[in-house]
Structure 1
Amino acid sequence: MARWEPNARERLVLAALDLFGEQGYESTTVIQIAQRAGLTKTTFFRHFPDKREVLFAGQEIHGRLLAEGIAAVSDSATPLEAVAAGLDTVTASFTPTQREFGPRLREVIAANPELRERAAFKHAGLATAITEALHARGIPEPTASLAAELGVRAFENAYERWIDPANDHPLPALARRELEALKTAAAALE
């Protein structure tokens, strides 16, 4: 079996996490990140517009995968069944590297207000992608937005559990479980 090697994008993320942990987010430059990854500044900017975005790589891809999964489900699916299909699609795309650097990513984001703000923006962007995909299926408001918020919360909760080294469950299964738990909690509100 071949040994897994990170690609350039993953190397940049890992280098950024190392440097942010060692010297702080504010003190780290793009040049330092590129050098630590063994790449050039030009290569960095081919992958990311700035150092903040190195930690939020793939948001557009995640939004697209969520929408594709929702669009592919049968017309008879409920809004939450469609969201579950979107979660299946996006969570299946996660790599061992993403799991490995997850705890460090969480620490770096928690330590920096600018990054916490960007994380909230990512949450909103994923919710918008799900909402729009549900609208395309004819799901009206407020059902579409509520289902989207449950989906994003399930995704984020599942990710947190997945990056825990004590966990041995795959991310798609965790996301499904989290969505079911949220569905049960919402039903208990009545």
Structure 2
Amino acid sequence: MSRWEPNGRGRLEQAALELYVERGYEQTTVAEIAKRAGLTERTFFRHFADKREVLFGGAEALQELLVSRLAEAPASAAPIDAVAAALDPLGAHFRALREPARLRQSVIAANTELQERELIKLASLAAALAGALRGRGVGEPAASLAAEAGVAVFRVAFETWIGGNGERDLSEIARESLAELRSVTAGT
């Protein structure tokens, strides 16, 4: 083992993504991830519960960002407008992460277990947004509907963004997706 280097978590995430792309998620072991990162399996498990979580480590930070931005929306904002305000900073948050995000999604798309985990994380995000809306005094079912719609807009915008050529900003795509949703629900 070489001498200590900083950012063990980041190195594990990078090593895992590289191996998942090269060899496949199911064929990659925690031992191989740790070895490529120059760390031990024990260190891996200090950062992640299992090899799936390497791909979802940023979910909590994303949830915290969206919930805090939703809380900062004007008190007079309609529930969907508060959710839109929460989605707006995503472009800046993800700007430098486009290629890793694209690779991550390709790994998830190739594995049913990871697709299920992704859906669980998105459901958790929707629940957190609905809770934040309820905290603002929005009743049900409006809070849950606005939160679920926001997560759907995020998901569609994210998939469009990683599938594109990188010229368009994620926030711009999210705003366009929300406008499309409004158009669809208005019947125009």
The ranges of structure 1 where at least 4 consecutive aligned residues each deviate by more than 4 angstroms after the TM superposition are: none
Contact 1:34-1:41 at 8 Å conserved across structures: yes
Equivalent position of 1:125 in the other structure: 124
User: Sequence identity of aligned pairs in percent?
Assistant: 51
The residue aligned with 1:154 is 153
Q: Distance in 1 between matches of 2:61 and 2:118?
A: 16
2:3 is aligned to none
Q: How far, CA to CA, are the matches of 2:47 and 2:91 in structure 1?
A: 21
Cα distance in 2, alignment partners of residues 120 and 62 from structure 1:
15
Aligned residue number for residue 21 of structure 2: 21
Q: By how many angstroms is 1:129 displaced?
A: 1.0
Match of 2:172 in 1: 173
Confirm or deny: 8 A CA contact 1:48 1:54 kept in the other structure: yes
8 Å contact kept, 2:90–2:170: no
Equivalences for 1:56-135 in 2 at 5 Å?
Answer: 56-96=56-96, 98-135=97-134
Give the structure-1-normalised TM-score: 0.87
- In 2, Cα distance between the equivalents of 1:141 and 1:92? 31
Listed as ranges, the gaps of 5+ residues in structure 1 are 1-5
1: CA distance between counterparts of 2:71 and 2:98?
Answer: 27
Distance 1:127 1:53 in 2: 19
| CA displacement at 1:166 relative to structure 2 | 1.2
Are residues 50 and 108 of structure 1, via their aligned partners in 2, closer, same or farther at CA, if it must alter by over 3 Å?
A: same
Query: Per-residue deviation at 1:41?
Result: 2.6
Offset of residue 88 of structure 1: 2.0
Contact 1:158 1:175 in 2 (8 A): yes
SS in 2 for 1:25: coil
Distance in 1 (alpha carbons) for counterparts of 2:93 and 2:47 = 18
Q: What is the TM-score when the length of structure 2 is the normalising length?
A: 0.87
| Matching residue of 1:145 | 144
Please tell me the root mean square deviation across aligned C-alpha atoms, in Å: 2.0
**Unmatched 5+ residue regions in structure 2?**
1-5
